[in-house]
């Protein structure tokens, strides 16, 4: 087992280190824009030359003065009138737009005897800021932060200079979230990217050190580590794209009992007892997947996705990937209504992308992972999920999904479920240096004639290095009674928190934050919780790639 763990961690590290190192190598570089200064200099020099040429006593033809002074003003030697008018770009590599969305490197220096011709240079050099403001990732719509080859090195490139397309279709890469789920095109992008041997490498990671305190007789105190480390690699596959993805979690270090979280339920701690008022740890392997896509037209494509583990076509993106709440280390109590299938040990998905619409179906094994968090489990792909996603605008992502779940609970064999989910995600810049995001999600679990609903509203506002976030939830939970099969209790929770980030390296942030929560329980449960409104609090520090 240790060999498997170390091998997996090493593989993920090898995927991500090149991306981080390459992005670091060119951090803070600014690319000049020579075109406008050269054009202004030419115009000014031409006017001066024309005036002198028309002056009394001048015998030199006007056009020769114009040519000579234009190039002298631009800092170049005079050339003959028969020579073409170049746009000098000495020693610079520029990507050109390509139908596949991949950048094509230009020669690092012009051909012998002259500069590159302006008509052949399709892409204009654009200035790049040295680094984003502390605490915030650049808006993907304005700055994709993609590393492209520049004379053998890596350098961030603007989305306006080169389109970055997703792994499953010819839409913006920012649309892709966990698994095959979609988020708004305007979502912030925090991945580091670099090119290596035809592969585009991406890395993202966050590590939280949390102090947790939950009040009342059913509460507890605990310190724990949570987070994720993700590496991705993309390569052209014919006219389409091949993507490999690995995501690891330190959650197993917190032990099989997870961490205290009032009103949370689902999965088991030891194979015989249900975790109630605690959030279960995620498995070490959160995702090991591959996908392949092929275009059908300029805005349509087909794709297949497989993972062990992976995420099927059900629900919104997993909570740690939703921009509105990703800064919170606290899991939602609606997790098992909305997105608990994000770690499924066996997934096969096929889908069709039609511009802003995606239709997909999955066969998968989504039995709740057992108490062994360090291994990889297997099982029959006997569950089915269908999802339709629609991004009507760049700032909105909608989805509706359905799933038939066969024998999902380890402690409730033979009990099948039907689940429904619908969600709306929104994200955008609301003012210079201000961002906001929101989530509205609903899920239903139907079993034995019961329909139990859960709903969540999430929001965040980011300004410079500060982010304020919050979440409100309501669920009908049948697992809060001791036996786990009692009536559905309608309970709720509100959490509000904030984090302040500090840049400690060009692509590394450290943050300090905290949150407070208040729970709402009915009178029948109040005695066991110490009242109708038990509370919770978390203080945390985090480190994040950015």
The predicted structure's pLDDT at residue 487: 86
Tokens of 250: 């330190």
Q: What is the DSSP letter of 395?
A: T
For residues 193 and 162, is the Cβ–Cβ distance under 8 A? no
Cα–Cα distance measured from residue 216 to residue 526, given in angstroms and rounded to the nearest whole number? 10
Backbone angles phi, psi at 378, to 5 degrees: -135, 165
**Three-class secondary structure assignment of 215-231:** CCCCCCEEEEEEEEEEE
Closest CA to 402 of 388, 390, 415, 386: 386
Cα–Cα distance measured from residue 256 to residue 76, given in angstroms and rounded to the nearest whole number? 70
Cα–Cα distance measured from residue 391 to residue 172, given in angstroms and rounded to the nearest whole number? 11
339: Cβ contacts below 8 Å, ≥ 6 apart = 315, 316, 317, 318, 319
Tokens of 456: 């969540």
Domain at 2-19+167-545, CATH from 3.40.50.10800, 3.40.50.740, 1.10.10.60, 2.40.160.10: 2.40.160.10
403 CB neighbour count, 10 Å cutoff: 24
For residues 365 and 381, is the Cβ–Cβ distance under 8 A? yes
Model pTM above 0.95: no
The predicted structure's pLDDT at residue 407: 72
Cα–Cα distance measured from residue 261 to residue 477, given in angstroms and rounded to the nearest whole number? 14
Cα–Cα distance measured from residue 509 to residue 341, given in angstroms and rounded to the nearest whole number? 30
For residues 428 and 463, is the Cβ–Cβ distance under 8 A? no
Cα–Cα distance measured from residue 93 to residue 152, given in angstroms and rounded to the nearest whole number? 9
For residues 120 and 90, is the Cβ–Cβ distance under 8 A? no
SS3 12: helix
Residue 9, burial from CB neighbour count under 10 angstroms (0-12, 13-18, 19+): middle
Q: How many residues does the chain have?
A: 546
Cα–Cα distance measured from residue 511 to residue 540, given in angstroms and rounded to the nearest whole number? 8
CA distances from 520 to 217, 276, 334, 456, 530 (A): 15, 16, 14, 14, 11
Domain residue limits, the chain:
2-19+167-545
Query: In which element (H, E) is residue 156 found?
Result: strand 153-157
Q: Residue 167's beta-bridge partner residues?
A: none
Residue 382, burial from CB neighbour count under 10 angstroms (0-12, 13-18, 19+): middle
How high is the mean pLDDT in each 10-residue block of the chain (546 residues)? 42 42 42 44 57 48 39 40 40 40 41 40 39 43 37 37 76 95 94 92 96 97 96 96 97 91 84 83 94 96 97 95 96 93 93 98 84 84 94 98 82 80 97 97 91 97 97 94 76 98 95 98 95 97 94
Residue 241, burial from CB neighbour count under 10 angstroms (0-12, 13-18, 19+): buried
Query: In which element (H, E) is residue 432 found?
Result: none
Cα–Cα distance measured from residue 436 to residue 438, given in angstroms and rounded to the nearest whole number? 7
Backbone angles phi, psi at 497, to 5 degrees: -155, 175
CA torsion, points 277, 365, 399, 296, in degrees to nearest 10?
A: 160
| Distance, C-alpha 506 to centroid of its chain | 19
SS3 530: coil
Handedness of CA 232, 235, 240, 244 (dihedral sign): negative
The predicted structure's pLDDT at residue 43: 57
For residues 135 and 467, is the Cβ–Cβ distance under 8 A? yes
Cα–Cα distance measured from residue 81 to residue 58, given in angstroms and rounded to the nearest whole number? 19
Q: What is the DSSP letter of 239?
A: T
CA distances from 22 to 97, 104, 233 (A): 22, 18, 14
């Amino acid at each position: 087992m240790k060999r498997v763990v170390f091998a997996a961690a090493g593989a993920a590290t090898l995927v991500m280190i090149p991306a981080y190192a390459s992005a670091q190598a060119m951090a803070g570089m600014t690319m000049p824009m020579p075109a406008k200064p050269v054009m202004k200099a030419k115009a000014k020099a031409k006017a001066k030359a024309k005036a002198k040429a028309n002056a009394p006593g001048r015998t030199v033809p006007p056009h020769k003065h114009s040519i000579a002074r234009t190039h002298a003003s631009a800092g170049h030697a005079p050339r003959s009138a028969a020579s073409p008018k170049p746009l000098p770009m000495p020693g610079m590599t520029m990507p050109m737009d390509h139908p596949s969305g991949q950048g094509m490197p230009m020669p690092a220096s012009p051909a012998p005897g002259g500069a590159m011709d302006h008509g052949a240079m399709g892409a204009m050099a654009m200035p790049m800021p040295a680094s984003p403001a502390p605490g915030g990732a650049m808006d993907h719509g304005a700055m994709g932060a993609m590393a492209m080859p520049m004379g053998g090195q890596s350098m961030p490139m603007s989305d306006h200079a080169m389109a970055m397309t997703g792994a499953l279709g010819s839409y913006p890469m920012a649309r892709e979230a966990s698994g095959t789920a979609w988020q708004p095109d305007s979502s912030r992008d925090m991945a580091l990217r670099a090119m290596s041997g035809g592969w585009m490498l991406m890395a993202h990671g966050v590590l939280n050190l949390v102090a947790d305190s939950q009040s009342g007789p059913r509460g507890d105190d605990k310190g724990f580590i949570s987070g994720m480390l993700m590496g991705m690699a993309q390569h052209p596959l014919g006219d389409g794209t091949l993507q490999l993805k690995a995501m690891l979690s330190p959650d197993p270090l917190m032990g099989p009992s997870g961490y205290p979280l009032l009103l949370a339920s689902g999965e088991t701690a030891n194979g015989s007892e249900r975790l109630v008022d605690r959030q279960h740890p995620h498995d070490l392997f959160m995702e090991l997947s591959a996908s392949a896509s092929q275009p059908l037209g300029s805005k349509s494509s087909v794709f297949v996705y497989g993972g062990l583990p992976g995420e099927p076509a059900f629900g919104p993106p997993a909570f740690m990937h939703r921009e509105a709440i990703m800064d919170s280390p606290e899991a939602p109590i609606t997790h098992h209504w909305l997105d608990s299938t994000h770690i499924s040990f066996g997934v096969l998905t096929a889908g069709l992308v039609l511009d802003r619409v995606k239709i997909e179906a999955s066969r998968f094994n989504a039995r709740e992972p057992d108490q062994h968090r360090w291994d990889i489990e297997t099982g029959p792909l006997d569950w089915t999920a269908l999802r339709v996603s629609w991004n009507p605008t760049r700032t909105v992502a909608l989805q509706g999904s359905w799933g038939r779940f066969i024998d999902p609970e380890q402690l409730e064999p033979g009990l099948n479920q039907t689940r429904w989910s619908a969600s709306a995600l929104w994200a955008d810049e609301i003012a210079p240096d201000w961002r906001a995001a929101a989530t509205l999600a609903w899920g239903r679990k139907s079993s034995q004639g019961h329909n139990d609903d859960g709903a969540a509203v999430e929001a965040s506002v980011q300004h410079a290095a500060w982010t304020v976030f919050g979440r409100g939830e309501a669920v009908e939970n049948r697992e809060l009674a001791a036996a786990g099969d009692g009536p559905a209790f309608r309970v709720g929770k509100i959490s509000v928190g904030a984090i302040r980030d500090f840049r400690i390296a060009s692509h590394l942030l450290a943050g300090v934050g905290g949150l407070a929560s208040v729970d709402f329980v009915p009178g029948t449960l109040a005695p066991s919780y110490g009242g109708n409104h038990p509370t919770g609090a978390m203080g945390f520090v985090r480190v994040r790639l950015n």
